[in-house]
Amino acid sequence: MKRFMQIWKPAVVGFLLLTLVCGVIYPGVVTIIAGAAFQDKANGSIIEGKLADGESGKYGSTEIGQTFTQPEYLIGRAASDGAATNLNPTSEEQKQLVEKRITWWHKLDPANNRVIPMDLVTASASGVDPDISEAAAAYQVDRISRERGISTKVVKEIIAENTSKRLLGFWGEPTVNVLQVNVALDSLKM
């Protein structure tokens, strides 16, 4: 029994100590620092404002993609359709999903005969990507303009205002935040 305690006592103490440090103290410190230094992001980057019914409320997070399917809205990346979002690009399942999404886009906007940008017919790995490419946003300008009865110039300006540029001027691609564009479009009514 003495030998057993010599082996297990340090293991249990080590386990409890590491649990305290890694599971309580470290996350607590990081949460406090994040809350102080990056308050908006630490609290979910929630967009608040007047909702369609005139009440004040929360639209959603700029960091998590929301599903928009009505033609008067900018529509984001494809949802995962309940399937894995990290499919092999050459798999038959991925091909069928892309074809299904292309058909959906043609039904949504039959007047648009331009090539559909790839990010509108493929899902992101997380399935909740809040941004789309500038090309994907530009593809939708005419439809949004027509559905809302506003000029394409106004739609393009709103998209431009909600486009993030390349990091440090050269890294990555510019992206358009779908929720921010849709909130701005809805605010035109008010």
| 24-49 per-position pLDDT tens digit | 999 999 989 988 888 777 777 777 76
Is residue 177 very low, low, confident or very high in pLDDT (cuts 50, 70, 90)?
Answer: very high
Burial 74-97 (b: 16+ CB within 10 A, else e): bbbbbbbeeeebebeeeeeebeeb
Given a cut of 70, whether residue 93 has pLDDT beyond it is yes
What's the mean pLDDT in 70-76?
Answer: 93
Burial class (CB in 10 A: 0-12, 13-18, 19+), 143: buried
pLDDT in tens, 51-64: 666 677 777 777 77
Predicted pLDDT at 39: 78
Going through the chain in order, the beta strands assigned E by DSSP cover 46-50, 56-61, 131-133, 163-164, 175-177
Per-residue buried b or exposed e for 118-132, using 16+ beta carbons within 10 Å of the residue's own CB: ebbbbbbeebbbbbb
Residue 84 has pLDDT above 70, yes or no: no
Q: How far is CA 141 from the centre of its chain?
A: 20
